[in-house]
Structure 1
Amino acid sequence: MPVSDDSAAASGWKGFWNPGGWWKAVLITVVYAAMYQGIGWVNATLFSGVVDEKNLFGDPTSVLIGVALPILVAGGLTLLFVWSVGWLPTIFARQPIAGRPWMWIAVVLVLIPIVIRLVATNWSAYSMQVVLAVLLLGLCIGFAEELITRGIGVNLLRRGGYSERVVMLLSSLLFALLHSTNIITGQSPLLVLITVVYTFGFGAMMYLSMRVTGSLVWAMLLHAATDPTTILATGGIDSTGGAAGDAGLLTIASLFNYAYILLALIAIFLVKGRVGSSRVRRASDRSGGDRE
């Protein structure tokens, strides 16, 4: 039976991505970063009269339109890509390799500063509408950034046959690469460098959390709780604003950033195992994904 042009195109598209590989993981991350920056520019142009750039967290409209909308659109397009290659069942299924008990340390290290920041936040500085908008922003960030790095990135690396040690290392570096684009927005090179180092450590925590909980969804939720509590406690994004909360507690919470980096370095030597491309494909078959 002859193959239709549409079927051939779909087969070629999926056939390109299914074998995986590190350079494809880099490619899709760079495309996502460029897409997000482009969406942000268009968004800022279209809604320049609606968003208060000088006080993004002063009203819910600025939060939702100015910050959350570009991330939501980028996340939606990323989800569309996952659907187009037939990886939805694979990425959101239980992890094909079990975590180890020591990996729960990563979950604890992420949860403790979240609680500290909740206590430290100057809640009187925000309206309930702004708080809810920031929480929604956190969900958008957690979903989009985890989907592109721990979802697509990890899947591509596993399909490429890399060991889990390499998967953790490279997916964390990809997560850090995403945040290196902050330099385009005018941040100082030093602040961008600090952010990149921190996000590498935090990315490793998300990988370990995904492994030990067995699901990408839990990493998304942990990430979704980290960003909004940081924003509300400090009063800004990657900076401290006028609505910042208790300085002493925030200092304690910030110390966990060093713990992330330290555990990430230790984990490089502790993480073992290999899923391998064939096992990823079999898992995809069992969960209803594409057969290769």
Structure 2
Amino acid sequence: MSITEQVSADPAPRRLSYVGFAVIVVAYLAIIQLGGRVARAVFDSGDGFTTTRDVMVNMWIPLGAAAVFTYAVVTWLGWGRPVLREERRLRRWTWAVPIILAVCILLAINYAGLADKGIGFVLALLVATQFVGWGEEGMFRGVGVNILREHGLTEGKVALWSSIVFGSVHLTNALAAGGQAIAQAVVVSFAGYFFYLIRRASGGNALNSVLHGLFDFSLISCTAIAVDQELYLGAVAGFLAYVIIAVVVIIGRKRLEPAAATDVPSRS
């Protein structure tokens, strides 16, 4: 069988409706929320992330399961290539976005606090936050972006709605955080747009996934483990990441797309 015949014999990627995507997202959230509660009950774990055991129970189990679910969905849809690779590249200057974010991550990490916790805790938290990064980026910048493209939205609307959906799902944190979840959802929407830009700047879904995980790692090192400690000043770097990237993007907003870029569906 020739290569052409083999390709034509391969099953075509599945199409996904908005309702279907909503069902998948709800299932993803249920795995995280319910899985976390079940894990805490079974292993009699605390609610926080202050010990290595708590991180492994409260984060590894639900977030790892959610990440596995995400890529099982990607495989079932036959969307491996469009999820993991990005054909619609932005101009080279947009590499400034991941560079700025990476610098702010390095500045934000609470090195002293992590050193007190030990290498086991650090490695456990790194793994846990990478589950977050790869799971959420696979679901929202991978599946989410591509379903919007499949339905013919312009790239501007793809960026907008994928970011809004990403922020909105964090409203489920209201179960634990109350009204603070609304402000968090707004902030996360902006973060979603930045990760969308990183996907398109880098040409794939890997760099944004890694940086997403490391950004969460830096934030948790500044907050969740800082029990009975004063606010770690490095946390300001996380806030500065939003401000600096926003200013850079606003200034260069008319020079994001390559000159020959057109808004066409990613797959026929």
Partner of residue 224, structure 1: 213
Matched, 1:46 2:78: no
Per the normalisation by structure 2, the TM-score is: 0.83
Could you say if the C-alpha distance between residues 78 and 261 of structure 1 is closer, same or farther in structure 2, counting changes exceeding 3 Å? same
2:195 maps to which of 192, 198, 206? 206
User: Which 10-residue stretch deviates more, 117-126 or 76-85?
Assistant: 117-126
SS of the equivalent of 2:267 reads helix
1:81 maps to 73
Paired position in structure 2 for 1:242: 228
Name the residue aligned to 1:142.
133
Mapping of 1:1-292 within 5 angstroms? 15-17=14-16, 24-47=20-43, 49=44, 51-53=45-47, 55-58=48-51, 60-93=52-85, 95-118=86-109, 121-185=112-176, 187-189=177-179, 191-236=180-225, 241-242=227-228, 247-260=232-245, 272=257, 273-277=261-265, 279-281=266-268
Structure 2 vs 1, CA of residues 220 and 152 (structure 1 numbering), >3 Å: closer, same or farther?
same
What secondary structure is seen at the aligned counterpart in 1 of 2:90? coil
SS in 1 for 2:102: helix
CA positional deviation for 1:179: 1.2
Letter in 2 for 1:170: W
Measured after TM superposition, the shift of residue 33 of structure 1 is 1.9
Whole-Å Cα distance in 2 between the matches of residues 85 and 257 of structure 1? Answer: 33
For 1:48-90, what per-residue CA distance to the aligned partner results, in whole angstroms no more than 9, with x for missing partners?
A: x2x233x5322x1211112221010011111111111111133
Is the Cα contact below 8 Å between 1:169 and 1:204 reproduced in 2?
Answer: yes
Structure 1: any 5+ residue segments left out of the alignment?
Answer: 1-10, 282-292
Residues 160, 113 of structure 1: CA spacing in aligned structure 2 closer, same or farther, 3 A cutoff?
same
Which SS does the other structure have where 1:57 is aligned? coil
Whole-angstrom distance in 2 between the partners of 1:243 and 1:214: 41
The one-letter code of the counterpart of 1:77 is F
Instruction: Specify whether residues 92 and 251 from structure 1 end up closer, same or farther in structure 2 by C-alpha distance, changes over 3 A only.
Output: closer
1:207, distance to aligned residue in structure 2 (A) = 0.4
The structure-2 alpha-carbon separation of the partners of 1:32 and 1:275, relative to structure 1 and needing over 3 Å to count, comes to: farther
CA contact (8 A) 1:160 1:276 kept: no
Distance (Å, rounded) in 2 between the aligned partners of 1:178 and 1:199: 10
For residues 261 and 37 of structure 1, the distance between their equivalents in structure 2, rounded to whole angstroms, comes to: 31
Between the aligned partners of 1:262 and 1:194, the Cα distance in structure 2 is 20
* 1:69-126 alpha-carbon deviations (Å, 9 max, x no partner): 1010011111111111111133123x12111234223213311220112366423331
SS in 1 for 2:126: helix
Q: CA RMSD in A?
A: 2.7
Give structure 2 stretches of 5+ with no counterpart: 1-10
Mark the CA change 1:140 to 1:25 in structure 2 (over 3 Å): closer, same or farther.
Answer: same
- The CA deviation at 1:217 is 0.7
Deviation at 1:262, TM superposition (A): 5.5
Q: CA deviation at 1:209?
A: 0.4
1: CA distance, partners of 2:39 / 2:142: 26
- Residues 244 and 132 of structure 1: is their aligned pair in 2 closer, same or farther, counting only changes over 3 Å? farther
The total of aligned residue pairs comes to: 255
Q: Is the 8 A contact 2:31 2:65 kept in 1?
A: no
